[in-house]
Amino acid sequence: MKTKKYLFGTLCIVLMLVLLCGCTSNNHNNGNNPMATPTPKPHIVVTSQASRTGYSGIDFCAFIDIIVKNYGNAGGSSDIWVELKQDTNTARKHQTIYLYAGETESLTITFCELSFWSGGGFTYRVWAENH
């Protein structure tokens, strides 16, 4: 019984030393050292989206108006994607942007693949893929 207590106590001390050494090491890899300063990263998100239709020349088009913001603490690039569905047809387009930390940008992605005579209207979704 005494041996189990000593073994358990020794195991606890060794475990505490291993954890303490991991937290105070000079390893500056953020993934291994929870005490390291995080590397600045961009965080670009879609903050607003709206659709409208109209003509561009003789084409009937859908215009997807998007506002994006970089909430991160560094500049970076992102692909802003729009997927539009009408009846059984699907179209995808994207635009690559670069935003500095805290910067906001408005953009419009246009789809002139719409059928004016389709009674079903269209649906769409918008998302950002950070690089």
Angle at 22 between CA 17 and CA 27, to 5 degrees: 145
The alpha carbons of the chain give a radius of gyration, in whole angstroms, of 26
Model confidence pTM above 0.75: no
Under 8 Å CB-to-CB from 112, ≥6 apart: which residues? 56, 59, 60, 61
What CATH number is associated with residue 111? 2.60.40.10
For residue 72, give its domain range. 44-130
Task: Identify whether residues 21 and 82 lie together within a single domain.
Answer: no
Residues 7 and 50 in one domain: no
Residues 12 and 58 in one domain: no
Q: How far apart are CA 113 and CA 128, in angstroms?
A: 22
The beta-strand segments (E) located in 16-122 are: 44-56, 59-70, 76-86, 89-99, 104-111
Backbone angles phi, psi at 63, to 5 degrees: -115, 120
Question: What string of pLDDT tens digits covers the 131 residues of the chain?
Answer: 555 555 556 655 655 555 555 554 444 455 566 678 889 999 999 999 999 999 989 888 999 999 999 999 999 999 999 999 998 889 999 999 999 999 999 999 999 987 766 656 899 999 999 99
**Same domain, residue pair 85 and 70:** yes
Tell me, yes or no, whether 111 and 124 share the same domain: yes
Judgement on whether residues 77 and 96 belong to the same structural domain of the protein: yes
59-70: strand order across its sheet: 44-56, 59-70, 104-111
The answer on 97 and 54 residing in a single domain is yes
As for how many domains the chain has, the answer is: 2
